[in-house]
Amino acid sequence: MKRDEPMRTKAISTIVTRPSALLPPLGRGGGESAHAFGWFHVRQPLSAKKWLVAEVHPSDGHCPPPLPKGGSYEVPHVAKGVVRSDAMRNPTVNRCRLVISASLVAFLVALPVRAQGPQASTPEPLTEIKVIERVTASVDRSLAYLASKQLPDGSWHKNNAVNALAILSFLGRGHAPGHGPYRDVVERGKKFLLSTAKTDTGYVSFSSMYEHGLATLALAEMYGMDPDPELEEKLRKAVDLIVKSQSPSGGWRYNPNPGDQDLSVTVMQIVALRAANNAEIPVPAPVIEKAIGYVRTCSHASGGYAYTAGGGPGPQTTAAGILSLQLLGKFDDPTIPKALEVLAKYPIKWDTSVQYFYYFHYYAVQAGYQTGGQHWNDWHPKIRELLLSKQNGDGSWDVPPGTAEANEGVVGPNKIYWTAMSSLILEIYMHFLPAYQR
């Protein structure tokens, strides 16, 4: 198949039994709609065990047929509730997007919405075309800025955390190695990350497991789109290093050895392992169980999660703790409800109320999306509008003055970290990255 040839896909609509690992539990989203600019789906609870799942893809270079009015047609079980590479790579997607979106909006409106306690969930604003257009335009400007700052060797900074976040920003918009207008940017970034991987250990970092976790995440997300043999080999080694570096208590710390742990480093390894698992790189079950146990030890009786077990909760670690358990499959963990209450109290403002502004919101928006319902509806419009209002004319972002992330020595030059993080937060609406799906 040629690089730009449309991938063959099909229109699907089906009633499936709800696999807990793939669909949100009842009460975490109710009737909902979403789209990934070419992979559109509606999920509606029909009973305690069955969901209506409608998924539409471009087919043979043409827009798919509309969904049947007021209903659906049944086909065999849809395999996985993740965005597939064929949908991401299809050049006909933009041409079909608005037609399909309109069809699904009409379909969703016809479905009853399941009540969640005292309130009913509402359709996510992903169905609001104007919102999506604004977010898309903003992200496209940011990617143009990031592309202009890439160095000839494919990096953006001598810190693989920053490099990984920049690459993830492009992947989050659907650009992949070998596909899309930024194919060369992503390919150069991939090659740089691979060139820094230690051949003996698989360590993809210049300094710490922060870098390694984010670099492994980027490699795993690329591997799901680009089955490059070198990429697979080095991804497997990177994952193996994370596994071997897990502490006896179940967490991770700055260095690649199993001696200590904190939640800040741990969440990055958990996200990387989840992405690797999505890319069919196996992760041992005991590693997952130990990680679940460690995150729980960081929970605080009053709600939220601490940097280390026994400490007080903080904004960054509370968001990280919630998302960690969600990505580990523990959506209904008893420590989460109080943590969500704590999280909801943090202001979404461009000031010093949260010292690590981007780190916090990167995990908070994902945790909110995984939670769904009223928490998500209350959270995401505020951070979306704040970021859209703060974007610079050249597509970049700054950082709230006086916060810890204003230190260039920590986040790198040329506003790369700030801009990549802002892009990733907004790309929660696009669902190209498997981590950005329920």
Please tell me the predicted confidence (pLDDT) of residue 428: 94
183 and 268 share one domain? yes
Domain annotation covers residue 233: yes
Residues 132 and 113 in one domain: no
Q: What is the 3-state secondary structure (H, E, C) of 318-366?
A: HHHHHHHHHHCCCCCCCCHHHHHHHHHCCCCCCCCCCCCHHHHHHHHHH
* CB environment 189-200: b (16+ within 10 A), e (fewer): bbbbbbebbeee
Q: Are residues 114 and 145 in the same domain?
A: no
Q: Which residue type is seen at 316?
A: Q
In whole angstroms, give the CA distance from residue 59 to residue 19.
Answer: 27
Cβ contacts of residue 380 below 8 Å, gap of 6+?
A: 125, 365, 368, 369, 428
pLDDT tens, position by position, 238-254: 999 999 999 999 999 99
106 and 137 together in one domain: no
Q: Tell me: the pLDDT tens digits for 121-138?
A: 444 444 578 888 999 999
Strand order in the sheet with 32-35: 12-17, 50-56, 40-45, 32-35
| Count of domains observed in the chain | 2
- Burial group, residue 20, by CB count within 10 angstroms (0-12, 13-18, 19+): exposed
**Nearest-angstrom CA–CA distance, 59 and 40:** 13
pLDDT band at 274 (very low <50, low <70, confident <90, very high): very high
CA distances from 198 to 201, 212, 240, 330 (A): 6, 11, 13, 33
- pLDDT recorded at residue 326: 97
What is the DSSP secondary structure assignment for residue 406, as one 8-state letter? G
Residue 406: the pLDDT is 87
pLDDT band at 412 (very low <50, low <70, confident <90, very high): low
Residues 245 and 207: their CA atoms lie apart, in Å, by 15
Same domain (yes/no): 314, 353: yes
pLDDT tens-digit series, residues 62-115: 333 333 333 332 323 332 332 222 222 232 232 233 222 333 333 333 333 333
Q: Pick the range with the lowest mean pLDDT from 263-267, 274-278, 395-399, 434-438.
A: 434-438
Residue 320 belongs to some domain of the structure: yes
pLDDT at 410 (0 to 100): 65
What's the pLDDT at 108? 30
Whether residues 159 and 236 share a domain: the answer is yes
Closest C-alpha to 329, from 372, 298, 292: 292
Single out the residue of 246, 403, 416, 377 nearest to residue 315, CA to CA: 403
Residue 43's beta-bridge partner residues? 32, 53
Are residues 35 and 150 located together in one domain of the fold?
A: no
In a domain? residue 5: no
Question: Is residue 251 a contact partner of residue 266, using CB atoms and an 8 Å limit?
Answer: yes
- pLDDT of 10-31, one tens digit each? 223 333 232 222 223 223 333 3
132 in the same domain as 72:
no
- Convert the pLDDT of each residue in 372-387 to its tens digit: 999 999 999 999 999 9
- Name the token pair of 101: 């979106």
Q: Is residue 210, in this structure, part of any structural domain at all?
A: yes
Same-domain pairing of 118 and 170: no
CA distance 296 to 317: 12
* Residue 226 lies inside a defined structural domain of this protein: yes
The residue written with tokens 């449309």 in the block is 6
User: Is 203 within the bounds of a domain?
Assistant: yes
Q: Which of 99, 123, 147 is the last residue of a domain?
A: 123
Q: Where a domain ends, among 123, 147, 177?
A: 123
What is the mean pLDDT of the segment spanning 112-119? 37
Which of 116-125, 259-268, 416-425, 426-435 is least confident? 116-125
Question: What confidence score (pLDDT) does residue 21 get?
Answer: 29
CB of 370 within 8 A of CB of 323? Answer: yes
pLDDT given for residue 390 in this prediction: 98
- Residue 284, pLDDT > 70, answer yes
Alpha helices (H) in 224-284, listed in sequence order: 229-245, 263-278
How many other C-beta atoms can be found within 10 angstroms of the C-beta atom of residue 293? 12
pLDDT tens-digit readout, 172-210: 999 988 888 999 999 999 999 999 999 999 999 999 999
Claim to verify: residue 19 and residue 42 sit in the same structural domain: yes
**3 occurs within a structural domain:** no
Contact between residue 215 and residue 160 where contact means Cβ atoms under 8 Å apart = yes
Domain-embedded: residue 215: yes
Assign 119 to helix, strand or coil: strand
Q: 267 and 184, same structural domain?
A: yes
Looking at 123, 157, 192, the residue that finishes a domain is 123
Q: At what angle do helices 285-297 and 263-278 cross, to 10 degrees?
A: 150
- What is the CATH classification number for the domain harbouring 343? 1.50.10.20
Range of the domain at 40: 12-123
Of 107-111, 326-330, 359-363, which gets the smallest average pLDDT?
Answer: 107-111
3-state class of 50 per DSSP? strand
Pair 119, 140 in one domain:
no
